[in-house]
């Protein structure tokens, strides 16, 4: 058996050695190279696939293709990331694709030269600077139809021109930034790091050709989506961000937050929140920029709308005068404005006004025989037991038959009959007179001692009547 085993082992070794050679020989005899269905003939390990890429914005038709993407058409250009309106105004540096189909088919890539012209081999040079995309399409189609009949044309923008815009004034990083015709003031201001704290966000100047072309209002754009307040830019524009100057309104808001969110806060009065968590009241100052004619509701909008913690009935405005009356305090009931649309409470503001919005601090006081006597946040619809639970529960010495709730108006209601607790109520949990069995023994001992003392006193003076 040993010769047979040696023969089988030898045959296996020969097969392993010559199998790759046989595969290579069969491929050479067929005259073909290995083919990958996705990439075509393989050109070696790691060879990149060659594919035809259609330029963005060009309709895909037979014979219309481009070997480069739109961003490569103009070195340093920008690929289109959004739909371009037919009202887009062309300028030097824009790249176009002109497509022709019908009895004659062709595709022409061209670029607007510095003199504002494009080169179209069929018809020569055409001036398109200052034309909208739609107007350029009409012009090109009109000229092409002088040479070819029964054809249709299409003109699409394949890359935007790139130009420089200067940003000066109160921004984090003044300088020169690259922009395109679809960029607006807010986009370039963001590139410059945003407006500094002392800078204006409502009176940004856009200077063009040596004069103020437009004014940007970033607050109106952010809050209302007003596109007219955020102008588009052109080559050579200068954005100047001035200082706030005296166009300011000072707003002081008494904000309420949990202690975990805000900390104790300087000067903040603490009260207990839901679940016993401490709340703090802190006056937070805001400096807001106003435009002529702004009212109190505009200030509220800049703050992001009203808060559930604000006491809208107790808002007031402090206004200073150079006249002898000095500072005037003007009370405002914003609740009447928001609920009843009372415009008399939506006062027009003047520069330098100080608006004070106090917190609506709703409290319930819990005291007496409870584990954590404190002040707790009032929540509508809650019974007394709910606030006792926040206070850690009543002690074993609590006497609910004698406990009571004192109302804000001074009236007193038995704890057993109180029902719903109101804002400002004080829950008083009274202790029992006799808390444990030891108290009863102590009372009996005290009474017994008194009786025995009286008997002894009587015996000493009367000798029991003898």
pLDDT at position 208 is 93
Q: How far apart are CA 264 and CA 245, in angstroms?
A: 34
Provide mean pLDDT across the span 75-91.
66
Q: What is the mean pLDDT of residues 364-386?
A: 87
Helix locations, 263-322, DSSP H: 296-302
Provide the pLDDT confidence category of residue 203 given band limits of 50, 70 and 90.
very high
Domain 363-429 has CATH 1.10.357.10: no
% of the chain at pLDDT higher than 90 = 32
Instruction: Report DSSP state, residue 240.
Output: E
Closest listed residue to residue 253, CA positions, set 195, 202, 304:
304
Q: What is the CATH topology of the domain spanning 248-357? A: Outer membrane lipoprotein wza fold like (3.10.560)
Q: Report the pLDDT value the prediction gives residue 39, as an integer from 0 to 100.
A: 32
Residue 369 sits at φ, ψ, to 5 deg, of: -85, 65
CA distances for 180 relative to 46, 129, 162, 164, angstroms: 38, 16, 5, 9
- Tell me what pLDDT residue 36 has: 36
392-446 pLDDT per residue, tens: 988 888 888 889 999 877 889 999 888 889 888 899 999 887 655 555 556 566 7
> Looking at residue 197, what is its pLDDT?
86
Give the other-Cβ count within 10 Å of 243's Cβ. 13
CA distance 259 to 65: 65
Please name the residue ranges forming H helices in 263-329: 296-302
Domains 70-159 and 363-429 share a fold: no
**108, two tokens:** 């022409």
> Confidence band (pLDDT; 50, 70, 90) for 65?
very low
| 163-241 carries CATH number 3.90.870.10 | no
Cβ contacts of 316 within 8 Å, gap of 6 or more: 329, 330, 331, 332, 355, 356
d(CA 94, CA 75): 11
Q: What does the alpha-carbon distance between residue 186 and residue 192 come to, in Å, rounded to a whole number?
A: 10
- Report which DSSP code applies to 436: S
Statement: 70-159 belongs to CATH 3.40.50.880: no
pLDDT of residue 461: 65
Q: What is the rounded radius of gyration, in angstroms, for the C-alpha atoms of the chain?
A: 43
> Mean per-residue pLDDT for 114-132?
91
- Which are the contacts of 223, defined by CB distance < 8 A and separation ≥ 6? 301, 302
What are 402-411's pLDDT values in tens digits?
A: 899 998 778 8
Reported confidence tier of residue 458, pLDDT bands at 50, 70, 90: low
Tens digits of per-residue pLDDT, 84-113? 778 888 999 999 999 999 988 899 999 999
Cβ neighbours for 361, distance < 8 A, ≥ 6 positions apart: 256, 271, 281, 311
Parallel, antiparallel, or unpaired for β 426-429 and 363-368?
parallel
Per-residue pLDDT reduced to its tens digit, 288-324:
888 888 999 999 988 888 887 788 888 999 998 777 6
- Domains of the chain, by residue range, sit at 70-159, 163-241, 248-357, 363-429, 436-466
**E strand spans, 248-362:** 248-258, 270-272, 278-289, 315-320, 327-332, 354-357
CB 224 within 8 A of CB 199: no
Residue 215 pLDDT exceeds 90: yes
Whether the CB-CB separation of 93 and 178 falls below 8 Å is answered with no
The residue among 158, 149, 142 whose CA lies nearest residue 108 is 158
262 falls in which pLDDT band (50, 70, 90)? very low
Question: Is residue 206 very low, low, confident or very high in pLDDT (cuts 50, 70, 90)?
Answer: very high
What's the pLDDT at 277? 43
The CA distance from 113 to 94, in Å, is: 8
pLDDT score of 19 more than 70: no
């Amino acid at each position: 058996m040993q010769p047979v085993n040696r023969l089988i082992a030898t045959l296996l070794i020969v097969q392993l050695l010559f199998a790759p050679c046989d595969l290579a020989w069969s491929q050479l005899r067929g005259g073909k190279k290995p083919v990958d269905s996705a990439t075509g003939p393989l050109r070696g390990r790691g060879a990149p696939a060659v594919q035809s890429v259609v330029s963005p914005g060009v309709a895909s038709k037979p014979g219309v293709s481009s070997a480069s993407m739109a961003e490569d058409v103009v070195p340093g250009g920008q690929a289109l990331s959004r739909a371009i309106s037919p009202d887009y105004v062309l300028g030097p540096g824009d790249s176009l694709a002109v497509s022709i189909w019908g009895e004659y088919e062709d595709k022409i890539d061209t670029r607007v030269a510095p003199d504002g012209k494009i080169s179209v081999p069929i018809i020569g040079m055409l001036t398109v600077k200052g034309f909208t995309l739609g107007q350029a399409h009409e012009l090109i189609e009109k000229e092409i139809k002088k040479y070819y009949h029964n054809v249709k044309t299409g003109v699409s923008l394949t890359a935007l021109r790139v130009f420089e815009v200067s940003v000066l004034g109160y921004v984090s990083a003044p300088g020169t930034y690259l922009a395109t015709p679809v960029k607006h003031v807010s986009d370039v201001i963001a590139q410059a790091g945003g407006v500094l704290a002392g800078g204006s966000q409502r009176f940004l100047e856009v200077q063009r050709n040596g004069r103020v072309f437009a004014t940007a209002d970033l607050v109106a754009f952010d809050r209302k989506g007003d596109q007219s307040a955020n102008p588009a830019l052109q080559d050579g524009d200068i954005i100047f961000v001035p200082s706030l100057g005296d166009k300011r309104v000072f707003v002081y808001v008494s904000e309420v937050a949990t202690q975990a969110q805000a900390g104790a806060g300087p000067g903040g009065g603490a009260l207990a929140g839901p679940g016993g968590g401490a709340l703090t009241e802190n006056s937070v100052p805001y400096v807001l920029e106003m435009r002529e004619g702004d009212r109190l509701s505009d200030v509220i909008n800049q703050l992001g709308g009203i808060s559930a913690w604000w006491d809208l009935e107790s808002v007031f405005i402090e206004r200073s005068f150079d006249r002898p009356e000095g500072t005037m305090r003007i009370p405002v009931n914003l609740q009447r404005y928001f609920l009843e649309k009372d415009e008399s409470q939506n006062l027009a503001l003047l520069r330098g006004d100080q608006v004070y919005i106090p917190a609506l601090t709703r409290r319930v006081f819990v005291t007496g025989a409870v584990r954590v006597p404190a002040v707790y946040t009032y929540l509508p619809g809650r019974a007394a037991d709910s606030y006792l639970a926040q206070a850690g529960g009543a002690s074993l010495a609590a006497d609910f038959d004698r406990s009571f709730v004192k109302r804000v108006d001074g009236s007193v209601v038995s704890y057993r009959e109180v029902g719903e607790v109101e804002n400002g109520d004080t829950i008083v949990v009274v202790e029992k007179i006799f808390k444990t069995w030891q108290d009863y023994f102590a009372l009996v001992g005290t009474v017994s001692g008194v009786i025995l003392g009286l008997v002894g006193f009587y015996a000493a003076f009367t000798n029991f009547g003898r």
